[in-house]
Amino acid sequence: MTDLSERPRATSRIEKVRSVHVSSSLSTFEGESASFHSAHPPSWNVLLEALPEATALLDGRGVVHYVNGLLTALTGYEPVELIGHDVKLLLPERLRERLLRARRERPPAAVASIWNDEDLTILRRDGIEIPVEVSRSPFALDEGSWVVVAIHDVHTQRANEQARADAELRFRVAFENNMAPMTFADANDRIIAVNDAMCEMVGFTKEELLGCDSTPFTFPDDVGITESTHQRLISGEMEQERYVKRYLRKDGRVIDVEVSRSPARDADGKILYFVFSERDITEERALAAQLSHQALHDPLTGLANRALFEDRLAQAHGRVIRQGGMGAVLLIDLDDFKGVNDTHGHFVGDQLLTAIANRLGLVTRTADTLCRFGGDEFLYLAEGLESPKEAEVLAERLIKVIAEPYNIAGFLIEQRASIGIVIWDSTCTSFSETIQNVDAALYEAKRNLRGHHVVFTPTMHQRAVSRFSLVQELRQAFNAGDLVMHYQPIADLTTSQVVGFEALMRWNHPDRGWVPPNDFIPLAEQSDLILELGSFALRQSILEASKWASEDPSSRRPYVTVNLSAHQFLDPGLVPTIKELLAESALPPDNLVLEITESVALIDIAETMSVLEHLGNLGVGIALDDFGTGFSSLSYLARLSPRIIKIDQSFVRPVDDSLRNDTLLETIISLGRKLDMTMLAEGIETEPQFRRLRRLGCELGQGYLFSPAVPNHEVEAMVGQIFAS
């Protein structure tokens, strides 16, 4: 056998022969190897070894004469395990048969025909079949035929191709079907791919976008605004940029978009393309803006709320500290606004508040802040004042603006307002103190001068503090049992006999002596304390009255009348409580009369009727207190049909005993009698008053003429008593 290297090769399939150093210890060809070693150019086995494919040299019978290192690596066989053996060793069983048949039919050229099969596989030493592609280079030498077989492993290649295809598919699905708008742009910012979500977001088709940069869908003012960050991205200073930009949709709508942009680079760091991921944040931003607006504004009127006002006041204060000057805070409170709600309902009440807010808004100076402080209160922050007088002029203007009549839902409504004013300068204190002071000024305004304004002075603070401490003291007094019930007798004016008692609360104050209820009940009414005081009065009066008895068994047991505050009357627990107290005390129900005033009865007429019905079912009587001081209409009076009408003291003790007053009293009395109600005159102090009332037909009376309210232990002696007349 001569040097193979001298022969031209029969096929050109194996062409690229890499120059590699191959050691002389390579496996050689059955004892003839020595003759190939010394030659130069390289011997054939060195060449085979250098081939980039797994290669074997077979003779015409299919016997292996040489394998290169790649083939041993591919098959797992050592050269000695293959050399000298039939190549069929490398074939799986089912293919061996075909090979042998081919050899029988077309020897010896058939030796390689089998290798043309497309689905050719070889069997590795570990028994695993792997798909391969084979190229053959048959040649004849010294009458013998030879074949160089190069086996190409398609298994790994196919796996790699598949993996790439899978990845591409995954990417395409992720890109195309992504809900997030995405764009790919080349290094020059030309769009090379966009997904459907992106097209949908900007309203352009793929065809319209491909090849363009972002200009067609960028809001004109925002073109180029992110240029500087792009530069930093391109220079590699940052790996990803995020920015918000306005996009202009094809339909002309402007949207806010959050964009994240990152470059894909090759191994050398050169930018291949950019990946953009976009998000429409228009709604999100609108919502955030709305939420922050809501957090700082009153939902009904749209005015600033307390939090915003507080912030503005702090800012204004800062400016005064820096620049000097003064400002004012005005607390505007609507007088008897509750009456509007009560008479016309909350819907009209809300409309009125909105209308007032609008009017005030129109006269609010641009530098100033108007705020709805709650319910029917507004705050006005006036800045840059020259003098306190200016704040007073402003207050009068606001009062006047509010006082103009309103036409709401067909009702003509007049609304007045009172205003408290605090003037502040650089020495101004905290927000809470400002509010406290302006509140104290408003309190004074409401107390003396409703419909006007009052400017805060430090003595008001003192008074506010003492009011506050009175409430504290009242609470303690109540807990300590310093509140007691006294009883003022009610007399039958015809017989002068005592028939009942009105329960009146008394506060035995350690320093001030007896504090009159007019001084503490209104205070208690501003807090929950009134409910506690009220239920105490009710319980105490019922329990004590249940023990009153006349020495004379023929005279009737006296009834007790108990005053109810608005809170108490509208408390759903009232009827059950009374039921329990009556059961507990065994006081006959018609010995209990509850006093309510007209204004309480009118708060919610439907509710009042229902409470009255329940009380009527229990057998408890109702007295309408302070009659004549309110504005109740006769129709209401008839509907309420109280058992007793208490004519207010002002009718009983008029400033002058004129004929006009007489007629008024006479009219009230005769009206009540016509409606079958018992008339009771309050505050009878003199004999003439008493006689007049008796003459006019008034049935009952109470007053200092008979007796002031007395402690319970003195009641016993008065039961059934006949006052001398």
Which residues are near ligand C2E by CB under 6 A? 488, 503-505, 516-518, 521, 534, 537, 563-565, 625-626, 683, 685, 702-704, 709
Q: How far is the CB of 514 from Ca ion (least distance, A)?
A: 18
Strand (E) positions, 517-578? 559-563
How many CB atoms are closer than 10 A to CB 588? 12
Q: How far is the CB of 400 from ligand C2E (least distance, A)?
A: 35
Nearer to ligand C2E (CB atom), residue 182 or residue 684: 684
Q: Which does 685 bind (CB under 5 to 8 A by kind): ligand C2E, Ca ion, none?
A: ligand C2E
Q: What is the CA radius of gyration of the chain?
A: 53
Which of 135, 563, 608, 689 binds Ca ion (CB under 5 A)? It is: 563
To the nearest 10 degrees (0 to 180), the angle between helices 458-480 and 517-525 is 90
The yes or no reply on residue 256 touching Ca ion (CB under 5 A) is no
Give the interface segment with Ca ion, choosing from 151-159, 465-473, 588-596, 630-638 (CB under 5 A): 588-596
Nearer to Ca ion (CB atom), residue 598 or residue 626: 626
Q: How far is the CB of 502 from Ca ion (least distance, A)?
A: 6
Give the single-character DSSP code of 671.
Answer: H
Give the span between the Cα atoms of 435 and 413, in whole angstroms: 29
Q: How far is the CB of 626 from ligand C2E (least distance, A)?
A: 6
Which runs of consecutive H residues, i.e. helices, occur in 253-363?
A: 282-296, 306-323, 337-344, 346-363
Which residues sit opposite 680 in a β-bridge? 646, 700
Give the span between the Cα atoms of 673 and 227, in whole angstroms: 93
Sheet holding 254-265, edge to edge: 191-194, 182-186, 271-280, 254-265, 241-248
Q: How many residues bind Ca ion (CB under 5 A)?
A: 4
The yes or no reply on residue 699 touching Ca ion (CB under 5 A) is no
Nearer to ligand C2E (CB atom), residue 356 or residue 640: 640
Nearer to ligand C2E (CB atom), residue 92 or residue 516: 516
Contact 138, 147 (CB under 8 A): yes
The site string for Ca ion over 68-97 (x = CB under 5 A, - otherwise) reads ------------------------------
Give the single-character DSSP code of 558.
Answer: P
The yes or no reply on residue 280 touching Ca ion (CB under 5 A) is no
| Interacting positions 617-646 with Ca ion (CB under 5 A) | 625-626
Nearer to ligand C2E (CB atom), residue 456 or residue 651: 651
Using the structure block, give the residue that is written with the tokens 């912030």.
311
Nearer to Ca ion (CB atom), residue 380 or residue 651: 651
Q: How far is the CB of 385 from ligand C2E (least distance, A)?
A: 43
**Which pair of structure tokens corresponds to residue 706?**
């008979």
Q: Which does 699 bind (CB under 5 to 8 A by kind): Ca ion, ligand C2E, none?
A: none
Which residues sit opposite 147 in a β-bridge? 58, 138
Nearer to Ca ion (CB atom), residue 256 or residue 595: 595
Contact 391, 423 (CB under 8 A): yes
The yes or no reply on residue 595 touching Ca ion (CB under 5 A) is yes
Q: How far is the CB of 589 from Ca ion (least distance, A)?
A: 20
**Which pair of structure tokens corresponds to residue 298?**
């009153």
Q: How far is the CB of 540 from ligand C2E (least distance, A)?
A: 9
Closest CA to 422 of 395, 451, 448: 395
Nearer to ligand C2E (CB atom), residue 56 or residue 623: 623
Cα of first residue to Cα of last residue in the chain, in angstroms, is 165
User: For strand 678-681 and strand 644-647, is the pairing parallel, antiparallel, or unpaired?
Assistant: parallel
Contact positions vs Ca ion (CB under 5 A): 563, 595, 625-626
